Each structure stands twice: as C-alpha cells, then as structure tokens.
C-alpha cells in the first residue's frame, strides 16, 4: 500500500494549524501529511550545531505505547553527543513517548581505531551512569545501542563489544545484547572500507526478547539486519517489536536500508524500529540516516530523512501484531527445521 503525501507550504501549514487551535512556532518551515504520520516538521536548532526535526503521530496515543525512534550525528565528542541525545529524550518525553531509541554509536563515533578504543568504557562507567540518571529523571525506558563496551580482557587485549543496552525507567539495565555479526566489508567502488572485527569481539549469544512498555522487544544492531535467521529466532521466542539501532554507510543505506527493514517486518510480522546515525561524523565517515519505523505489514510509519538529527514518534499497537499474524499465520505454516535442511 503506497503512502499518500501532500507537501504544504509553510504559510499554508501555519494557517491550517492555527485554524484548529494549534500553537505553531514561527521557525517551523515544512509540513508533510500522510495516513500514518500526523506531522513532520523541522525547527531551527536550540543550539546552532543541531538541526532538529520531529515526526509525530496523533497524540491521542497512550504514553506507554508511544516510541521515539531517534536520529543523531555522533562525533568523537562524548559530552556533545550526550547533550544532543538528552535533548531528544526530553523532547520525546514531552510528546508522550514511553520509550526512546538511540542509534549505534550514540556515545561517540571515533575517527580512528585508537580513538575508538581509548574512548570506550565499561557498563559501569560514566556514560551509562548518566543515561541511567536521565531515564530515572524522565521516567522513560531507553534503548542504547550500540555502546562501545570494554571487553572482559580489556587490560590484556584492548578489545570491545558493540552492545545494545535496554534500560528501564528506574535506570536499571534489564538486557544487554552484544552484536554478533561484525561489519567487515570492502566495497572499493562505493568508497566503503570497514573492518569492525579489528577491535570488536563478536557477541557469543542472542538474548531473549525483553518485556518493555511497548511490547516484547527483540534486539539486534546494524549489520545484524542482514541476517534473517536472527530476526526469525527472536520472533519464535515471542518478539512483538524488533529494533536495529544502526550507523549504515551512505552507499549501503541508499541501496539496502529500507528494503531490509521492511523485509524483517514482513517475514516476522513484527514492528521494526531502527534508530540511525546521519550526516558527517568527522572527515573519514558519514552515515545514511533515515531512522525508520515499520509496521507488521511492512508499511513505513515514519522516516527521519537523510539530512539532520530528529525523531519519529510512533504508536505501537500490539493488536495490529496479533491481527496480522492471525490473518496470515506464517509462523504456523513454517515447516520444521529439518525440512529446510533437507538439501544439505
């Protein structure tokens, strides 16, 4: 099903919203309407270094079922990154979100292997402590991933995990998934050369979906998106929502990002939420953006675009998960594992 879209000029949009009693800041300059997203806007930044945009669904949704899927531009400056993420979380809370999703590298994106390792921390370090305080203050759940977590033999081997942390509204860590598929890719014709395994330990196991205010959440990170075995395993263990915090390259994102996210949603009949990095992090790296929310039918509910930080607010209606699975019972139709191995 295609998404109808009507672009209004800024003056027409202000006139419409003021006519129905909505307050509209003078610095709002674009508006997009579609059946799923009540408003899409960009505002001039509170701080000059941050362009900020919000995509919002109707605010009649209860806060416990509203998720904020965020898009940021991390740099090696951990303090600046925290400040930007904090502003997004505060805005999400104000607009009714019960859970806030931040992307891979929310803590920082280093400009070299050495810098990436030197800035890493344990889960007990200052960065996660600050986010725990933020979760308690705002009374929101947080999806933080991936975080540069120092590995168990850090003092010996200087290697890290890429860790997706779920934190409740009391600031407690309730789940940690460590990225299991590492991005070792050479695409010379696309200008892509990354070797994550050079400093990252692959996670040893999947983790069971965790109960959150928006449903049972299955955890992945970025490159994991390309492996349907992971999403199907999470679906078998009860996931209602899959989340893939990411920092896709511009080249791979333009080619594959949306189609992969929609495919994971369709095959599992889950909501899929993918927070994203966007724009230029430093002179060596840029990210694709387009933080996305997809429903269990594969319909895109919101897209943050590829230009600037912001968020999409989306209502997670678990009745839609149930009805999609009831009307097309894919999981019941799936054959046993031995059948799919019969070609071996």
- 70 carries an active-site annotation: no
Q: For the residues of 159-227, what is the DSSP string, one character each?
A: -EEEEEEEE-TTS-EEEEEE--S--EEEEGGGTEEEEGGGTBPPPSS----EEETTEEEEE--GGGGG-
CA pair distance 181, 21, nearest whole angstrom:
50
Taking the CA atoms of residue 242, residue 245, residue 247 and residue 249 in that order, the dihedral angle to the nearest 10 degrees is 10
- The token pair that represents 199 in the structure block: 């400093």
- 121 carries an active-site annotation: no
What is residue 60's three-state secondary structure? Answer: coil
The active-site residue, picked from 104, 149, 216, 304, is: 104
- 307 carries an active-site annotation: no
**How distant, in Å, are the alpha carbons of 35, 208, 261, 320 from that of 301?**
9, 26, 12, 13
| Kind plus residue range of the DSSP H or E element containing 229 | helix 228-236
Residues 95, 313 contacting (CB under 8 angstroms): yes
CA pair distance 250, 92, nearest whole angstrom:
26
Residues 143, 100 contacting (CB under 8 angstroms): yes
CB count within 10 Å of CB 224 equals 27
- The token pair that represents 213 in the structure block: 């205010």
Backbone angles phi, psi at 264, to 5 degrees: -65, -40
Residues 246, 221 contacting (CB under 8 angstroms): yes
What is residue 115's three-state secondary structure? Answer: helix
The active-site residue, picked from 42, 93, 179, 216, is: 179
- The token pair that represents 319 in the structure block: 């009745």
Q: Tokens 């330990």 belong to which residue?
A: 201
- The token pair that represents 268 in the structure block: 């599992």
The active-site residue, picked from 70, 222, 270, 304, is: 222
Which residues are known to be catalytic? 104, 179, 222
């Amino acid at each position: 099903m295609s998404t109808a879209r009507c672009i209004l000029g800024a003056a027409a949009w202000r006139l419409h919203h003021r006519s129905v009693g909505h307050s509209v800041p003078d610095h709002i300059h674009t508006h997009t309407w579609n059946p799923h997203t009540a408003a899409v806007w960009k505002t001039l930044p509170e701080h000059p270094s941050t362009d900020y945009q919000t995509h919002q669904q109707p605010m009649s949704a209860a806060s416990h079922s509203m998720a904020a899927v965020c898009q940021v531009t991390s740099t090696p400056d951990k303090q600046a990154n925290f400040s930007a993420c904090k502003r997004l979380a505060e805005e999400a809370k104000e607009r009714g979100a019960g859970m806030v999703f931040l992307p891979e590298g929310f803590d920082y994106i280093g400009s070299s292997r050495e810098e990436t390792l030197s800035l890493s921390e344990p889960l007990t370090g200052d960065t996660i402590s600050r986010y725990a305080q933020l979760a308690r203050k705002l009374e929101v759940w947080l999806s933080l991933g991936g975080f540069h977590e120092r590995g168990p033999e850090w003092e010996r081997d200087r290697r890290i995990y890429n860790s997706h942390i779920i934190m409740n509204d009391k600031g407690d860590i309730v789940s940690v998934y460590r990225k299991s598929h590492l991005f070792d890719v050479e695409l010379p014709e696309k200008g892509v050369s990354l070797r994550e395994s050079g400093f990252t330990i692959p996670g040893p196991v999947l983790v069971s979906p965790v109960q959150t205010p928006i449903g049972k959440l299955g955890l992945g990170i970025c490159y994991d998106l390309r492996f349907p075995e992971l999403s199907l395993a999470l679906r078998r263990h009860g996931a209602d929502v899959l989340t893939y915090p990411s920092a896709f390259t511009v080249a791979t994102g333009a080619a594959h990002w949306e189609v992969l996210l929609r495919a994971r949603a369709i095959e599992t009949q889950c909501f899929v939420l993918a927070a994203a990095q966007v724009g230029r992090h430093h002179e060596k790296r840029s990210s694709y953006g387009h933080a996305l929310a997809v429903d269990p039918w594969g319909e895109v509910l919101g897209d943050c675009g590829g230009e600037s930080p912001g968020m999409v607010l989306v209502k997670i209606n678990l009745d839609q998960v149930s009805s999609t699975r009831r009307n097309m019972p894919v999981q019941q139709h799936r054959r046993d594992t031995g059948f799919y191995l019969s070609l071996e």
